[in-house]
Chain A
């Protein structure tokens, strides 16, 4: 099987391989800039949850973007479920920070969440009833089904975050990369996101969450990795 939007051949996840394996990774935004992330190693077993902790500018989003193929890799390699980048597109989903979305675009919540199904549709195919049902289920899990027909420009910050997570859920991926999902959200959203993260983990999926609020969420993750100025810090407290 080939991916609908590119000619990469689809590879099924290797059950014995870690969900994510990175060795000696070096990433920069352009070839003449210094590394935004360097000498980064990590192995995340399938089914685990990891917190990626660090201040703004530590390299958390850069790492996620490199895993998704949004940034070129200058050093090292990344393997997802035992395969090189690009072979498992539909198995990985990246939840960007809210500021990266054009919230003024005139579409409804349902339209945005259904976009999580595009990876399975490809060119010329319109979303089917089944895709709409999956999107509705994801909205229900995030407790925002009542907003289904609301325009995305009319959502609060917390609602925007829940809708974005619903889109990630609709993709039904096995590796979720969530960039600051709890940043500047209300208590209800924080609670809902927490419950959904537990549920995803219980389904055997792998979750990596970038955060700078680790103190409040420590018990939720199997492991924490600390980043500072583009480098992985040793020790459990990031020192």
Chain B
């Protein structure tokens, strides 16, 4: 029985994918907790879709896909935040509009290359194809983001539960809002490596939603979300290995299965 778990580990690319899966899972779940609690899941969705043109341009120019996706998501995040200051266009309108434009632009660009294999990997991720360089970048971005989350945990709590009070005691709330968008962009770029632009938001939201069903304490919620995200990422890789399924989709389906279990557990516990 154990050989089912150990067999895939003989391959270096699987080992690399598993390490990446654990890191990506922890980062997505930890930041995703605040994304969900701040009701920013739609913004996460918008940013994941906005990464596509950055990825395609970087691919066409032979540059770093990471850098391309990062620039595209950061520009979109800050752009939405900036344009939303003009009250004649609502933020949710911008969130619904800009990512679609960016996504269409990305599709348009990739369609000129006729390389639909690469498009598939950008849209749905390819964690099994992660290189050593990618892994180092994932580690670096995740470490910076998780340290920031730990350092500003107290302020993030107050900013989320009562932003007005945060402002009255002198917290720079606008700066904090942009800061969250920036770290969300980092997380999205890391998540894209695992599950692609279309499915990254699932990794940000579903583990947190499952954890929310099981606990109403923030610390436990973050811990449970991380466990669920890591389980999903690792489980998805095994599914992909044994059934030849797309790795990104397998991860998200595994995650959805955990959510369903959590929902059933809560339903019968009542």
A: residues with CB less than 8 A from B are 3-6, 8, 30, 65, 68-70, 86, 89-90, 92-94, 96, 100-102, 105-108, 111-112, 115, 118-119, 121, 123-124, 126-127, 151, 153-154
Q: Does B155 contact A (CB under 8 A)?
A: yes
User: Looking at chain B, what size class is its interface with the partner chain?
Assistant: 20 to 34
A100 to B, closest residue via Cβ: B164
Bound: A104/B87 CA distance, A: 28
Contacts of A127 in B (CB 8 A): 154
Contacts of A86 in B (CB 8 A): 170
Bound: A117/B165 CA distance, A: 12
Contacts of B165 in A (CB 8 A): 94, 96, 115
The answer to whether A94 touches B164 (Cβ under 8 A) is: yes
The answer to whether A106 touches B169 (Cβ under 8 A) is: no
| CB within 8 Å for A118 and B168 given contacts A102-B161, A106-B37, A106-B216 | no
The 8 lowest CB-CB distance pairs between A and B, nearest first, are A5-B170, A6-B170, A119-B169, A105-B161, A68-B168, A106-B216, A106-B218, A151-B216
The answer to whether A118 touches B216 (Cβ under 8 A) is: no
Bound: A118/B169 CA distance, A: 8
User: Least Cβ distance of B180 to chain A in Å?
Assistant: 15
| CB within 8 Å for A90 and B161 given contacts A106-B217, A124-B151 | no
The answer to whether A107 touches B168 (Cβ under 8 A) is: no
Q: Total A-B residue pairs with C-beta atoms closer than 8 Å?
A: 83
* Cβ < 8 Å to A, chain B residues 150-209: 151-152, 154-155, 157-158, 160-162, 164-165, 167-172
The answer to whether B168 touches A153 (Cβ under 8 A) is: no
Q: Does B215 contact A (CB under 8 A)?
A: yes
Contacts of B87 in A (CB 8 A): 30
Which one of B164, B169, B218 contacts A107 once the chains associate, using CB atoms below 8 Å? B218
A33 to B, closest residue via Cβ: B87
User: Least Cβ distance of A138 to chain B in Å?
Assistant: 15
Q: Does B27 contact A (CB under 8 A)?
A: no
Bound: A195/B232 CA distance, A: 54
Given A107-B218, A123-B151, 16 other A-B residues pairs in contact with their CB atoms under 8 A? A5-B172, A6-B172, A8-B170, A90-B169, A96-B165, A100-B162, A101-B161, A101-B162, A102-B37, A106-B215, A106-B216, A107-B217, A112-B161, A118-B169, A127-B154, A151-B216
Which one of A93, A106, A115 contacts B162 once the chains associate, using CB atoms below 8 Å? A115
Contacts of A90 in B (CB 8 A): 169
